[in-house]
Amino acid sequence: MNGDETNMNSSYPSRRQFLKRASVAGAALTLPNFIPSGLLGANAPSQRIGIGLIACGGRGMYESSCYPGSDKCQVVAVCDPWESKRLRAKQVFERHYAARRRSGAYKGCDAYADFRNVLAREDVDAVYIATPDHWHVPITIAAARAGKDMHTEKPLGVSIREDLAAREAVRRHGRIFQYGAERRSTTTARHAIELVLNGRIGRVQKIYVVSPASVKGPVDDPVLPVPADLDYDLWLGPAPWAPFSAARAISGGNGNGIFHIYDYAIGFIAGWAAHPLDQVQWWADNAGMGVPVTYEGTGRLPDDGLFNCLIQWDVQCRYKNGLVMRFMDNRTAQQQDIPGIRDSNAATFVGTDGWICVNYGEVQMNPPSLQNSIIGPDEIHLVRSNRAGGEYVEPHHMSWLDCIRTRQDPVGNIESAVRSDIISHLSDICVRTGRKIRWDPVKETIVGDDTAARMMTRARRAPWTF
């Protein structure tokens, strides 16, 4: 999107028209509008939540595959600046819905390049945002202002100020926000965090968080013509302008630069680390810990190539009460003796009476008898996904749909998402500046370091400001 209304396709609402419609929607909607199930030929007079899928790449299509089989919702719109991706998504959803109709035919999922067309539709109640990281917060804020609920993929923003702006918009407009850290919707992870909260491992003495690191990019990345089926200006959006290239914008091979180029992300210190940090934050929110207040450590950026996110880090994150969380990349962690680590994405709580490690795919405990420990009715119980258990994708999304109906916060709420994402940002800033970072949790700002404090904000390319 280039912001010039005269250059926009006439089938799109202009920016001025969109903002007007979004303002009206935000003022008028207090409860979601649902699509009658009769649109799909269902016999029962039920209601369905109209879903818009924003970004039709691998992640978006994988996670949204749980929608067509559910009577809770209907995907009515898909969006991607890549024409081939959005048309493929449209075909996939229409094929699924056609199979459920007596006629065997269905044409009711529209495809757009511009997400603003999706948000302007009255039959879209909620959106699943699976874009590159630099679009997460701008679209979350636009959706909130348009009166839509949202499931936003992790990590949250590309700056701390973006995180705070997302939280303000979601709460101001009363939207239902689900964070894409889906381990919260598994029974094993919830049980593990409840055990820690209820003192089964005694007093927590140390926490370890391990994540894959970003990678080095190609040194030679030639400029290429923009593919005919890509709106590259819209793909870039709020990020600085840069010439199109394979490593920057095409997945596979030397690509996936969207995860490792600082214009679009802060790297896997947020992208993959969001999972274990979210588990720690789940504990911290319920233990009254907040987020660590000092960050001190080392790390390494690539010394050449296109990619410029951290490929190594080892940061001591200290809470106000003195508890230390050691946050590191998985290669650094391999040199340490950390209990329970089975894969490269995990959080370990070490207590006076044992330890619990929440790996991405499993939970390890010592003593092993903790696996059978039951949380009593008078103990601390976490808010649970309404469909906790089994494979994580469907429970996380279906629970979000349930919360859209009840207007209750999902298991992955905006406050917790902001706090866990801030840890990634402060750790990244610590390494990039080479200095100890101090965080004021009340004022929500870096203190005593003006240079570091300025790194809490990113410049955004017009017109994508908020």
Q: What is the CATH number of the domain that holds 418?
A: 3.30.360.10
User: Is 409 inside any structural domain?
Assistant: no
- Are 305 and 260 within one domain? yes
- Domain end, chosen from 123, 154, 183, is at 183
- pLDDT of the residue at 387: 62
Q: Is residue 404 part of a domain?
A: no
* 52 and 121 belong to one structural domain: yes
What average pLDDT does range 299-328 have in this prediction?
A: 97
Identify whether residues 243 and 343 lie together within a single domain: yes
Q: What is the pLDDT of residues 121-142, one digit of tens each?
A: 999 999 999 999 999 999 999 9
Say what the pLDDT of residue 18 is: 33
Mean pLDDT for 70-95 is: 97
Are 120 and 205 in the same domain?
no
Q: Report the pLDDT averaged over residues 86-108.
A: 91
Instruction: Give how many domains the chain has, as a whole number.
Output: 2
Residue 117 shares a structural domain with residue 70: yes
The answer on 433 and 452 residing in a single domain is yes
Q: Are residue 132 and residue 203 in the same domain, yes or no?
A: no
Range of the domain at 369: 186-386+414-466
- The three state secondary structure string of the chain is CCCCHHHCCCCCCCHHHHHHHHHHHHHHCCCCCEEEHHHHCCCCCCEEEEEEEECCCHHHHHHHCCCCCCCCEEEEEEECCEHHHHHHHHHHHHHHHHHCCCCCCCCCCEEECCHHHHHCCCCCCEEEECCCHHHHHHHHHHHHHCCCEEEECCCCCCCHHHHHHHHHHHHHCCCCEEECCHHHHCHHHHHHHHHHHCCCCCCEEEEEEEECCCCCCCCCCCECCCCCCECHHHHHCCCCCCCCEHHHHCCCCCCCHHHCCCCCCCCHHHHCCHHHHHHHHHHHHHHCCCCCCEEEEEEECCCCCCCCCCCEEEEEEECCCCCEEEEEEHHHHCCCCCCCCCCCCEEEEEECCEEEEEECCCEEEECHHHHHCCCCCCCCCCCCCCCCCCCCHHHHHHHHHHHHHHCCCCCCCHHHHHHHHHHHHHHHHHHHHCCCEEEECCCCEEECCHHHHHCCCCCCCCCCCC
Taking alpha carbons only, the member of 126, 109, 67 closest to residue 397 is 67
Calculate the alpha carbon distances from 326 to 206, 292, 312, 336 in Å: 8, 11, 13, 11
Looking up residue 140, the CATH number of its domain turns out to be 3.40.50.720
309 found inside a domain: yes
Q: Is residue 408 part of a domain?
A: no
In a domain, 391, yes or no: no
In a domain, 166, yes or no: yes
Do 236 and 359 belong together in one domain? yes
- Is 158 in the same domain as 259? no
For residue 7, is pLDDT > 50? no
Tell me, yes or no, whether 214 and 335 share the same domain: yes
Residue 109 lies in a domain: yes
Q: Give me the pLDDT at residue 42, please.
A: 38
Contact 280, 325 (CB under 8 A): yes
The model's pTM is: 0.89
Same domain, 269 and 177: no
Q: What percent of the chain has pLDDT over 90?
A: 81
Q: Identify the domain boundary among 162, 183, 204.
A: 183
pLDDT reading at 44 higher than 70: no
Domain edge (last residue) among 150, 167, 183: 183
Residues 348 and 229 in one domain: yes
- Confidence at residue 46, expressed as pLDDT on a 0 to 100 scale: 52
Asked if residue 22 has pLDDT above 60, the reply is: no
Q: Which of 88-92, 248-252, 275-279, 280-284 has the lowest mean pLDDT?
A: 248-252
The mean-pLDDT minimum among 37-46, 225-234, 279-288, 417-426 falls in: 37-46
Residue 307 lies in a domain: yes
The answer on pLDDT for 9 being more than 60 is no
More confident residue, 255 or 192: 192
